[in-house]
Structure 1
Amino acid sequence: MKGKVALSGMAFYGYHGYYTEENKLGNHYTVDLEVETNFTKMDDELESTINYETLYTSTKEVMLKPLKLLETLAYLIAKKILQDNAAAIKVRVKVIKHQPPIGGLCESASAELELER
């Protein structure tokens, strides 16, 4: 049976951005992640699903590397999730940058994508 494992609101501080100031000062980010899989056994064992602790660790590894674009972050997170989890079929990632430097008030900017095996 098909199902999903999700993590919402993972909070990170990172040095991502196109402008030099963003790379020096950093910013707050939130990542939402949804992973589609097949639940072949419902035996109440961790090995029968995708471990969300592993999903967090994979996401954190990508978030630690400074990059210019939110789209690149989302893509690399999705790619890593698929590489690290053989049972993952499809990954949806949303990366949110809080209070982006756009010359005015803005709560957040985001990029979202899906990547399939």
Structure 2
Amino acid sequence: MKGKVALSGMAFYGYHGYYTEENKLGNHYTVDLIVETELTAMNDELESTINYEKLYNSTKEVMLQPLKLLETLAYRIGKKILKENTEAIKVYVKVIKHQPPIGGICDHAFVELELERE
């Protein structure tokens, strides 16, 4: 049977952005993940599912690497999740940048991607 393992509202501080000031000052980010998988064993053991602690650590590793675009962040997170979790079928990634520097008031900007195993 297919199932999903998700993490919502993972909070990070990162130095991502197109502009030099963003790379120096940094910003607050939130990441949501939904990973689709086959849940077949259902034996109440961690090995029978996708470990969400591992998902968090993989996401954190990518978030620590400064990048220019939210799209690149989301893509790299998704690819890393698929690579490190062979049981993952599909991954949905949402990267949110809080108070983006756009010259006006804006609560957040975000990018959503869905990647499937090839």
> Normalising to structure 2: TM-score of the pair?
0.99
2:11, 2:42 → 1: CA distance?
Answer: 30
The CA distance in 1 between the partners of 2:70 and 2:112, in whole Å, is 9
1:40 counterpart SS class: coil
Give yes or no for the alignment of 1:35 onto 2:38. Answer: no
**Partner residue of 2:54?**
54
Please show how residues 4-43 of structure 1 align to structure 2 within 5 Å: 4-43=4-43
Q: What whole-Å deviation, never above 9, does each CA across 1:33-73 have from its counterpart, x for those lacking one?
A: 00000001110000000000000000000000000000000
What does residue 78 of structure 1 align with?
78
Letter in 2 for 1:10: M
Aligned residues: 117
Deviation above 2 Å: which 4+ runs of structure 1? none
One-letter amino acid of the counterpart of residue 110, structure 1: F
Q: Could you say what secondary structure the match of 2:42 adopts?
A: coil
Mapped partners of 1:49, 1:89: distance in 2: 12
**Counterpart for residue 100 of structure 2:** 100
2-structure distance, mates of 1:42, 1:48: 6
Could you tell me the TM-score, scaled by structure 1's length? 1.00
Alpha-carbon deviation of 1:99? 0.1
- Structure 1 gap ranges (5+): none
Alignment root-mean-square deviation, CA? 0.2
The residue type paired with residue 47 of structure 2 is E
% identical equivalent positions: 83
